[in-house]
Amino acid sequence: MKLAHPRTLPGRLATGVYILHAGFEKWNAPHERAEGVHAMAAGAYPPLSAVPPARFLKLLAGAEIATGAALVMPLVDSRLAGLALTAFSAGLLGLYWRSPGMRRAGSIWPTPAGMAVSKDVWMLGIGLGLLAEGAR
């Protein structure tokens, strides 16, 4: 069994705890929140419109909890944790890129409405760093 390298732990813990919290907050969220999150996701990824909002939010919460848990557990290999975080953050950045009003026209830079999602670029960087660390 290969433990995570100590230098990866601060990024893994900070990111993992944040994602775990987000997943737990969504797990028993009210139907109105499920509808809002689902509408935003389905707007960016149209095939998601076929998934009922409550089921979508439960699946999203489960994915966040699994990703966060993989990051905070040092027994999980950095490549696996990095792959999970990279995939998760890439999906969020896709949402940012595809959702109208999140970016300034003709630019990669966020509008005030897109600021909360645009910051997920840092999670992508941490995920890619973990992948690179695991490849060493």
pLDDT at 1: 59
pLDDT at 4: 80
Per DSSP (E only), the strands in the chain are none
Task: Indicate the average pLDDT of the chain.
Answer: 93
Alpha helix positions (H), 28-119: 31-44, 53-72, 78-98, 115-118
pLDDT at 38: 97
pLDDT at 116: 86
pLDDT at 45: 96
CA–centroid distance for 112 within its chain = 20
The rounded distance, in Å, linking the Cα atoms of 95 and 12 is: 23
pLDDT averaged per 10 residues, the chain (length 136): 81 95 96 96 96 97 97 92 95 92 92 88 94 78
